[in-house]
């Protein structure tokens, strides 16, 4: 929150206007603290209590313990005061951000902001440690229970938990793929039934130290091994540049380089991932596994059986969420007409899906994101197919998965871009325009979507 406040505050020259800006923000903060309270979901309450206990254990090992603001945050969460907890978490997060300092702040600005908003520098000092991880997990899990439709949050989480064998390593990428699974499993910090890590924080030394403290049963890469994995990844990129083979979208992400180290150091454990963003380096080893993906140790041959299981899983989800109408032969126009009717106009006549799903955009974005990730895997497979038959086979799967992802949330730019790319790879320009036009009606103020639509409309095939 303060990131934008500081940008505006720093640009204002008039002292009187600065005072007004601060007054408005302080008023907003005071109103946020008066938010509604609700009883915690039992699974969330159990998770929060465990995270509070874990935070206390970590704090007891620090010279000065934890600042009191940490316990006020947990108090708010446990009372179901989402707005109050969010306000406190934002203050802690802004203290950490401010501690790093914005680029080229006006003279005296940081001191003035700290004084005005009571951002004690000691807060950041204490939180620059393992303490921050359980606090963040608590906040993100609470936000999911606040924002998502709980029935579907529980459903997809339990499906993942039941599908991953005990003792496996699971990398969650998005907040829902990481913290919802952590909240619903038997015990996240005991690794029961499996070990849960966050894909996006693997380069964070403090996070890996936190993981070492939780999971003594795992072989966690040492700081030296993490540095070596990153260095080798960057050297490979440099070598590609020198050979003239450099293609940014083909480069292995640094997170995948570290995940490979986990895989090598834990050879007896199966690896699963809920992908946050494209990690194309892992795609040769990856296959769909329910709503997530499994990483094998050898390159995967995408068999008909694997594709059939994937379709069965997602056809069942889509039928429950949207009604049993979306099939392979369903046209792009039919999908767009459905989106306009149901999502845009709110016309539910004849709708046989789940109305609670349609009323919750966060839930829509989550399921669409999960399906979009698998569509991207199929698109990569089509691009790297070694025969025309395999290319056609993977293109067909990518098209259907992307169509489902778009239908699940046509207001998601991610789903839109993946589907447009899938259509353009088959030279289906008019259908790509129709899909982009549909999304533009749902999110007319999204500049990226409007720009995409304009580019598609202006494009003239040779």
Q: How far apart are CA 213 and CA 205, in angstroms?
A: 13
Angle at 371 between CA 367 and CA 373, to 5 degrees: 120
Is position 19 within any domain? yes
What is the per-residue pLDDT across 307-333, written as a single tens digit (0 to 9) for each?
Answer: 999 999 999 999 999 999 999 999 999
Q: Is residue 302 part of a domain?
A: no
Provide, rounded to the nearest whole percent, the portion of the chain with pLDDT above 90.
74
Other CB atoms within 10 Å distance of the CB of residue 90: 15
Of 71-80, 103-112, 201-210, 358-367, the one with minimum mean pLDDT is 103-112
* Nearest of 425, 455, 422, 421 to residue 437 by alpha carbon: 455
Both 287 and 156 in one domain: the answer is yes
Residue 351 belongs to a domain with what CATH number?
1.25.40
Q: Which residues contact 186 (CB under 8 A, 6 or more apart)?
A: 192, 193
Within 61-149, residue ranges assigned H as helices are: 68-78, 82-100, 109-117, 121-127, 132-147
Ranges 39-43, 277-281, 453-457: which has the least confidence: 277-281
332 vs 343: CA distance, rounded Å:
16
Q: Return d(Cα 220, Cα 266) in angstroms, integer.
A: 9
Asked whether residue 283 falls in the same domain as residue 216, the answer is: yes
Query: Which has the higher per-residue pLDDT, 30 or 416?
Result: 416
Please give the residue range of the domain that contains residue 330. 308-458
Q: Residue 394: pLDDT band by 50, 70, 90 thresholds? A: very high
What tens digit of pLDDT does each residue of 236-278 get? 877 777 776 655 544 447 889 999 999 999 999 999 999 988 7
303 domain residue, yes or no: no
Question: Of 295, 323, 351, which marks where a domain is finished?
Answer: 295
Single residue among 243, 271, 295 that ends a domain in this structure: 295
Residues 206 and 177 in one domain: yes
Measured from the Cβ of residue 179, the count of other Cβ atoms closer than 10 Å reads 26
Residues 118 and 181 in one domain: no
Q: What is the crossing angle of helices 132-147 and 68-78, to 10°? A: 20
What element of type H or E holds 169? Answer: strand 169-172
Same domain, 411 and 386: yes
In the predicted model, is pLDDT for residue 367 greater than 60? yes
* pLDDT-derived band at 5, boundaries 50, 70, 90: very low
pLDDT value of residue 234: 84
Could you tell me if 78 and 40 lie in one domain? yes
* pLDDT given at position 199: 92
Residues 133 and 85 reside in one and the same domain: yes
301 within domain boundaries: no
Same domain for 102 and 156, yes or no, is no
Which of 231, 277, 285, 237 lies closest to 258 in space, CA to CA? 231
Contact between 150 and 361 (Cβ < 8 Å): no
Do residues 7 and 137 share a domain?
A: yes
Do 79 and 171 lie in a common domain? no
Q: Are 67 and 130 contained in the same domain?
A: yes
User: Looking at the structure, do residues 232 and 323 belong to the same domain, yes or no?
Assistant: no
Residue 456 has pLDDT above 70, yes or no: yes
Query: Is residue 194 situated within a structural domain?
Result: yes
What is the value of pTM for the model shown?
A: 0.86
Q: Is residue 300 part of a domain?
A: no
Quick check: is 448 in a domain? yes
Domain boundary among 261, 295, 329: 295
The number of folded domains in the chain is 3
Q: Are 169 and 221 in contact (CB under 8 A)?
A: no
Q: Which pLDDT score is estimated for 246?
A: 55
**How do beta strands 292-295 and 195-198 pair?**
unpaired
Band of residue 64 on the pLDDT scale cut at 50, 70, 90: confident
């Amino acid at each position: 929150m303060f990131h934008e406040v500081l940008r505006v505050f720093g640009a204002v020259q008039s002292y009187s206007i600065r005072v007004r800006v601060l007054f408005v923000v302080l008023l907003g903060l005071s109103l946020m603290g008066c938010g509604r309270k609700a009883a915690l979901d039992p699974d969330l309450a159990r998770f929060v209590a465990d995270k509070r206990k874990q935070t206390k254990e970590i704090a007891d090992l620090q010279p000065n313990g934890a600042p009191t603001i940490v316990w006020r945050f947990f108090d708010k969460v446990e009372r179901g005061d989402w707005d109050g907890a969010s306000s406190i978490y934002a203050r802690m997060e802004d203290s950490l951000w401010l501690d790093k300092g914005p680029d080229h702040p006006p003279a005296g600005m940081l001191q003035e902001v700290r004084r005005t908003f009571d951002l004690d520098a000691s807060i950041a000092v204490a939180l620059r440690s393992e303490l921050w991880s359980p606090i963040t997990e608590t906040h993100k899990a609470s936000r999911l229970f606040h924002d998502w439709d709980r029935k579907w949050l529980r459903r997809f989480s339990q499906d993942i938990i039941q599908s991953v064998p005990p003792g496996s390593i699971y990398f969650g990428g998005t907040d829902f793929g990481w913290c919802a699974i952590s909240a619903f499993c038997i015990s996240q910090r005991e690794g029961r039934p499996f070990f849960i890590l966050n894909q996006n924080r693997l380069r964070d030394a403090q996070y890996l130290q936190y993981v070492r403290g939780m999971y003594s049963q795992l072989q966690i890469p040492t700081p030296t091994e993490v540095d070596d994995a990153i260095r080798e990844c960057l050297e490979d990129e440099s070598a590609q540049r020198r050979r003239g083979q450099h293609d940014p979208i083909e480069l292995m992400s640094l997170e995948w380089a570290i995940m490979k180290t986990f895989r090598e150091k834990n050879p007896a454990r199966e690896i699963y991932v809920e992908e946050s963003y494209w990690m194309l380096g892992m795609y040769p080893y990856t296959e769909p596994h329910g709503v997530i993906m499994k990483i094998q140790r050898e390159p995967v041959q995408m068999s008909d059986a694997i594709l059939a299981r994937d379709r069965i899983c997602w056809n069942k989800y889509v039928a429950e969420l949207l009604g049993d109408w979306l099939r392979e032969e369903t046209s792009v126009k039919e999908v767009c007409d459905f989106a306009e009717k149901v999502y845009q106009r709110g016309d539910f006549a004849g709708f046989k899906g789940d109305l609670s799903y349609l009323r919750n955009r966060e839930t829509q974005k989550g399921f669409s994101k999960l399906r979009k990730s698998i569509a991207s895997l199929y698109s990569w497979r089509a691009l790297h197919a070694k025969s025309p038959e395999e290319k056609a086979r993977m293109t067909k799967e990518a098209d259907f998965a992307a169509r489902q992802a778009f239908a699940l949330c046509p207001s998601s730019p991610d789903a839109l871009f993946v589907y447009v790319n899938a259509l353009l790879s088959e030279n289906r320009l008019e259908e790509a325009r129709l899909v982009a036009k549909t999304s533009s009606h749902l999110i007319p103020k999204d500049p990226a979507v409007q720009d995409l639509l304009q580019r598609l409309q202006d494009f003239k095939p040779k």
